Amino acid sequence: MHSKINKKNIRQRIKARQNTVQALYQWLITNKDLDEVMSEFENDKYKLAKTDVSYFKSLLKGTITCHKELDARIVNLLDRPIEELDTIERAILHIGCYELEYHNDIPWKSIVNESVELAKTFGAEDSYKYINSILDKVAKELRQTQSKNLVS
């Protein structure tokens, strides 16, 4: 029974990340207030069904609050100016970087894998490779003790 609860929690976290990508994308495009974006998602019960709503709120608020810090973390790792980065890729990178920095309870490999899956779902055809490359570098910087097995 414990594994079923765990799998359910994992699925709810995946949904939370998916919703966060969409909400963060909306915020990046429209520059609406965090509360306005949050309430639009909260008012759509279908959208947040089977979602870890608490994690969604925490992740969205954290990524928006720290967006300048998250941009600064990745800007030197990019192969183009950050302004030219696809908005979906930027949203996924922000989520991955935020989790790597502020959620040490989640293994770095899980964060990178989940970000790659988000890129496969929402991003351009090969954007998942780019996301993987950038987040591997961020993981090396932030999770040195956990990332000793990362390949250069």
In the chain, where are the structural domains located? Answer: 2-142
Q: Report the top-level CATH class of 2-142.
A: mainly alpha
Instruction: Say if residue 2's pLDDT is above 90.
Output: no
Closest CA to 33 of 43, 18, 23, 42: 23
110-116 long-range CB contacts below 8 Å, 24 or more apart?
111/135, 111/139, 112/136, 112/139, 114/14, 114/17
Could you read off the pLDDT of 5-43 as tens digits, one per residue?
Answer: 588 788 999 999 999 999 999 999 998 999 999 999 988
**Considering the entire predicted model, what is its pTM?**
0.89
Could you read off the pLDDT of 60-101 as tens digits, one per residue?
Answer: 999 999 999 999 999 999 999 999 999 999 999 999 999 999
